[in-house]
Structure 1
Amino acid sequence: MEPVRTCVGCRTRAPRTALLRVVVRGLELVVDERKASPGRGAWLHPTRECAENALRRRAFGRALRVSGPLDTQTFEEWLNGYGNKVNGSK
Structure 2
Amino acid sequence: MEPVRTCVGCRVRAERSSLVRVVARDSQLVVDTTASLPGRGAWLHPQIQCYQLAVKRRAFGRALREPRSLDTAALEISVRENRLNG
* TM-score normalised over the length of structure 2: 0.91
2:70 alignment counterpart: 70
CA distance in 2, matches of 1:79, 1:27: 18
1:27 alignment counterpart: 27
CA RMSD of aligned residues (A): 1.0
* 1:7 correspondence with 2:16: no
Identity of counterpart residues, as a percentage?
57
C-alpha distance after superposition, 1:23-67 (max 9, x if no partner)? 000100111111111111000111111000001110000000000
CA distance in 2, matches of 1:31, 1:81: 14
Q: What is the one-letter code of the residue matched to 2:4? A: V
**Where does structure 2 lack aligned partners over 5 or more consecutive residues?**
none
Greater RCO (Cα-Cα under 8 Å, separation 6 or more): 2
Q: Greater share of helix residues, 1 or 2?
A: 1
How many equivalent residue pairs?
83
**Where does structure 1 lack aligned partners over 5 or more consecutive residues?**
84-90
CA distance in 1, matches of 2:81, 2:35: 18
Runs of 4+ that moved beyond 3 A: none
The structure with more radius of gyration:
1
CA distance in 1, matches of 2:49, 2:78: 15
1:53 alignment counterpart: 53
* TM-score normalised over the length of structure 1: 0.87
